[in-house]
Structure 1
Amino acid sequence: MVGFWVKALDKKMLAFWALAFALLFAACSNDDNGTILVNPIGGESCAAIEESSSSDYALSSSVVASSSSADGLVSISTTVMEDTLEIFAFGGVKLDVVADSFLTKFDYGDVVMVMIAGYDTVDVPVVAGYGYVFPGEFFLYVSEGLNYIKLEARYGQMAEVVGLGRDLKFPIDVVVQMKEKGGYVDHLENLKSLSIANYPGAYPDLSIEEFANFRMVHTTGMGEGVLYRSSSPIDPAIYRNAIADSLAAVAGVRTFVNLADELQYAEEYKGFADSYYATQNVVYLNVEPAFANTPFKEGLVKGLRYMIEHEGPYLVHCTYGMDRTGFTIAVLEALMGATAGEIKADYATTHKNFYNVVNGQHVALTAKQVALLQAIIVRLMQNSFKTAGVDISDFENADLASATEKYLLALGMEQSEIEALKSRLK
């Protein structure tokens, strides 16, 4: 379990908050008659993981202009702080605004438009901590008492997303404008309520396949018995590995795409040498869920090329089979012609398999909760595709197959490779 938490924490968090590991484990685990309750996203008890540096305590010299736009929306004007260590080492973009001052005009749960002059514009929720968004999502970090606010991507590098490179020149003007008052409040409330358990007895309503989050992908255009997804068949962190490995063997999976591990780490898992998994083709990608950043994109392409070069059936997994797997599978589904509704439904199925555990028993998610979870994959795909120059802002009506081909081409794949991949998946 310790190995899982070390891997799950963002790398920059490890640099400053080694002690936070112990606190996080204590806050997010609840021993109740052998049940281990986990919230892998964050939530009320384990979301307040804050980052700091020596510059956090310097007095701000900013003079923030506040105004209302022609349509009555609140906005502020400021600049990017000249914290190049933060920008280039950690990817955060600090804005020269005192957090308490910002919170007199905006509230947690608001969705704002951040317009960086000469660079990019992004829509993000205002939140108090890293754990109040799903992995890969963008957010505006606002913590009371700090002399700045910060544009961030959970597990990612927001500076790269908005185009801040080594050639940047200060000052860089920024406008933060209200996009939707309270537009993220429902998501915040939903995140706080989600918990899972790590033993089958908490899920009497699920099949063993559902407990392991194991299933065949059968969206439009996908071949029968060609592509599978699951929680990790080798990582014992969430106690589903042996089940997932056995199910993969029954399905005859020949090629695994492991988004979570590197080979050396994977071989250390208890039981790895005796697993079905260890006898098959595996590509180890070890990528963080930073879907809009270069390392994940390069890992995605490497994984897809490995699939082209090896026979199926294929199985894609990370640890839970939720975030990295969810995005990767959504890309493959879109490429093969899946509808927006199919992509969203399959993404949310994973969350239904894990959430929600209340008083030690699985309780079905409400329709509203499912809709909120489905919206996550839409945002993740829109954000990542946008960084590749592909617009799917009208997700429901976009030609997602064509858009995904353009996305993969922008990531460096050749058209012939894309056709070969599609042929493998038919």
Structure 2
Amino acid sequence: MTKHDTHRHIPFEGVSNFRDLGGYRTHDNRALKWRKLYRSDRLSDFTEADLQRFSQLQVTRSIDFRGTAEADASNYHIADLQRISIPIEPKVVQSLSSLMATGNDLNAATAHELMEQTYVGFVHFNAAQYRHFFDEVLANESALVFHCTAGKDRTGFAAAMLLELLGVDRNTIMQDYLLTNDFYKPVAKASGHPLPAEVLSVLWRVTPSFMQAAYDEIDTDFGGVAQFLEDHIGLDAHARQTLKERLLEPAA
């Protein structure tokens, strides 16, 4: 973790993985604007002090990738913030719970494999949700935050695809993805989760192989990220150019 990574991380009392995507450089040496785009774990854990600090960021919209049950269990309403629900159900937890219910032994290797499958699922089964995400980023120029429960998988894939579109190099994208391991702290009540501790240790972290599983699928089935975003997500040249104009500093 570098000093710059610490700078992009915004510490709150109840929310641990709130980060600014600003400052990353693109292939043509432009930089993402600061204080425009944030990624986070669930905002329902903000404390009163957090809400005061959050209001200073002047974020007007939140994109919530949590599934229906997750959002219902930990809902939030924040003054002057428009919450936009784009649910992607957490199938890996459902799969693990089903395996445990049928008497299967669960271990870290099983969890790791299911996490990789989850990322492959983002590629093939969640195009509509991620297109909705891009549409909301395009909707206006106000600052926004996008999040799920931990801010690492559904949120991580969204961040990776957006940074790819803007022209950030793959190594930097992976470094941003892995920052979750430095900052995310599972909420206290998660300690009572029925899944085994070694399984939870996989679910609460990210590894390069999770995201690489998505990249491999994109390369194999779509011929690369550019074609995936254009043909599968549906972002035409005008949308891509508008995103760059909105989110990148002008070229020097």
User: Are 1:291 and 1:384, in contact at CA under 8 Å, matched by a contact in 2?
Assistant: no
Which residue, 234, 238, 243 being the options, matches 1:416?
238
The answer to whether structure 1 residue 316 and structure 2 residue 146 are counterparts is yes
**Secondary structure, in 3 states, of the residue corresponding to 1:260?**
coil
1:79 aligned partner: none
Return the alpha-carbon distance in structure 2 between the equivalents of residues 329 and 212 of structure 1.
Answer: 17
Normalized per residue, the structure richer in helix is: 2
Return the alpha-carbon distance in structure 2 between the equivalents of residues 346 and 379 of structure 1.
Answer: 14
1:249 aligned partner: 55
1:226 aligned partner: 36
CA deviation vs aligned residue, 1:43-89 (integer Å, no higher than 9, x gap)? xxxxxxxxxxxxxxxxxxxxxxxxxxxxxxxxxxxxxxxxxxxxxxx
Q: TM-score, normalised by structure 2?
A: 0.62
1:390 aligned partner: 223
**Secondary structure, in 3 states, of the residue corresponding to 1:212?**
coil
Normalized per residue, the structure richer in strand is: 1
User: Are 2:59 and 2:144, in contact at CA under 8 Å, matched by a contact in 1?
Assistant: yes
Which residue, 340, 343, 348 being the options, matches 2:173?
343
Can you give the 5+ residue segments of structure 1 that lack an aligned partner in the other structure? 1-205, 235-239, 361-368, 392-402
Can you give the 5+ residue segments of structure 2 that lack an aligned partner in the other structure? 1-9, 26-30, 90-117, 192-201
Return the alpha-carbon distance in structure 2 between the equivalents of residues 329 and 207 of structure 1.
Answer: 19
Q: 1:303 to 1:245 in 2, by over 3 A?
A: farther
**Secondary structure, in 3 states, of the residue corresponding to 1:305?**
helix
What does 1:110-189 correspond to in 2, within 5 Å?
A: none
Query: Alpha-carbon deviation of 1:257?
Result: 1.5
Q: TM-score, normalised by structure 1?
A: 0.38
Q: What's the C-alpha RMSD, in Å, of the aligned pairs?
A: 3.3
2:196 aligned partner: none
Bigger radius of gyration: 1
Q: Which has the higher contact order (CA 8 A, sep 6+)?
A: 2
Return the alpha-carbon distance in structure 2 between the equivalents of residues 306 and 388 of structure 1.
Answer: 26
Give the aligned residue type for 2:42.
S
User: Are 2:38 and 2:144, in contact at CA under 8 Å, matched by a contact in 1?
Assistant: yes
Q: 1:373 to 1:260 in 2, by over 3 A?
A: closer
Count of residue correspondences: 186
**Secondary structure, in 3 states, of the residue corresponding to 1:379?**
helix
Which residue, 310, 321, 326 being the options, matches 2:156?
326
Return the alpha-carbon distance in structure 2 between the equivalents of residues 425 and 244 of structure 1.
Answer: 26
User: Are 2:157 and 2:211, in contact at CA under 8 Å, matched by a contact in 1?
Assistant: no
Query: Alpha-carbon deviation of 1:384?
Result: 4.3
User: Are 1:230 and 1:315, in contact at CA under 8 Å, matched by a contact in 2?
Assistant: yes
